[in-house]
Amino acid sequence: MSLFNVYTGLLKVFPLPVMKKDDVNFLYDLEHPQYTVLKSRYPIVDVAGGGDDFSKAVNLLHWVSSNIYHVGNYAGSVHPNAINYLDYSFGKGEKLGINCVALSTILAECLLAVGIKARKVFIMPCSPYDGDNHVVAEVFIKDMGKWVMLDPTYNAWFKDENGNALGLLELRSLLADQSSVYFNSDAKYNDENWTEETSSMLIEYFAKNLFYFQLPEMSSHNEENIATSNNVLSNPDLRFISLCPDGFDPKTARVSNVMYRKKLYGEQPWMAEALKAEMDTKYVFCSADDFKK
């Protein structure tokens, strides 16, 4: 059996809950004072252009992806917000590349700064013995009345067989049914050539990582008191929200994942703090209906 069949099978038999879970209210800050700094330092308004919201979002996606390298093992040396990440990595090549969390943070904050609702979403695998997950951005397109996923790591968005841009919930549903999905024609990864094999490999990769989702309840410029990584909050009033299949325990999965990495790589300085953070996290759950709002 192929891994694609395993991953899509898990999506099929473990759907995301539609009914409301905890009291969740996703918020999107479109007026943070630091957006003025961001817009003065980087030409994001000109880059976005004067078209509709989808074209603005895609223009910013291409700008981020074309000017910043993805480096998966980025060590996180700057405080995680768009201005700091751009100052660190913009136009500086592979040596100062950043990871998918940082790229999605930049894109989401740039979209918020030009007045478009956006968020970064951690997309997560089922297995606690998987050392990898992925992070993307979603943007709310008013004309479409829905969220659309944008992935700055791959300069990519997904579409269905009719060419409609897809959000994460739509993508998960289509992959659960093993329906055809497609990348935009100008998707790319750093300077590598994009092939049919690349598309197939990445569709499988997304199927693996669409088992459950996590995201900050507040999407804004990343101050010290905003959620900046999986489950870690310096202000517990600003929560990290999970959308999981019924019966799935993300706390067990995340704690087990830290212990798995310890077994795999040996004791690392960050592990004790990460384990404590996971143990102390109080999980808050939303429904698919909440996630669509």
Contacts 24+ apart (CB under 8 A), 115-120: 115/30, 116/53, 116/56, 116/57, 116/140, 117/28, 117/30, 117/219, 118/28, 118/57, 118/219, 119/26, 119/28, 119/215, 119/216, 119/219, 120/215, 120/216, 120/219
> What pLDDT is stored for residue 228 in this prediction?
41
Element (H, E) at 180: none
> What pLDDT is stored for residue 274 in this prediction?
82
Joined together, the tokens standing for residue 278 give: 């996971």
Provide the whole-model pTM.
0.94
> What pLDDT is stored for residue 229 in this prediction?
42
> What pLDDT is stored for residue 222 in this prediction?
81
> What pLDDT is stored for residue 223 in this prediction?
66
> What pLDDT is stored for residue 272 in this prediction?
85
> What pLDDT is stored for residue 262 in this prediction?
84
**Residue whose tokens read 């700055």:** 152
Which residue numbers in the chain have pLDDT < 70?
223-237
